[in-house]
Amino acid sequence: MNKILRTDTESKDFQRLVRKLDAYLAEIDGEENAFYSQYNKIEFLDKVVVLYQGEVPVACGAMKPSAGGNLEIKRMYTLPEFRGRGLASQVVHELEKWAKESGAEACVLETGKRQKDAVALYKKLGYQIIPNFEPYVGVENSLCFEKKL
């Protein structure tokens, strides 16, 4: 049975998942990773979701304030052995629900073009590609998305 917990960046489970995410992104992005890392610091996040299967933390996501009163989804990750089960969709839906409760009119996000599964997920969930927002303007590997709530 899945359980979703709303928490904050102090969550040790969230921190462990983010360390795995950072290692995964370092491998995928190679030399570009240093650029992205500077914008992925968890101290800027104010809403965190961790998804558990039983007692095991297997997926996470977070949000931070963005321009225009929107919330930006960040730090999405699912352990590799749990992918393909719809867990990331559950995390995104919980983040969207929390964003709406917080008064946001839209969620925005950035992902890399090399992360084909992430791109497919966001399109499936109704996110539309938008022009890259700061700090991703002119970054060839970045795709930015928005979904009105």
23-45 per-position pLDDT tens digit = 888 877 666 665 666 556 677 89
Q: pLDDT at residue 136 above 80?
A: yes
- Give the residue ranges of DSSP H helices in 1-149: 12-29, 33-37, 87-101, 116-124
CATH code, domain carrying 22:
3.40.630.30
141/81 Cα distance (integer angstroms): 26
Q: pLDDT at residue 146 above 80?
A: yes
What is the number of domains present in the chain?
1
Q: pLDDT at residue 112 above 80?
A: yes
* Domain boundaries, position 79: 2-148
12-16 average pLDDT score? 97
Per residue in 47-85, pLDDT (tens digit) is 999 999 999 999 999 999 998 889 999 999 999 999 999
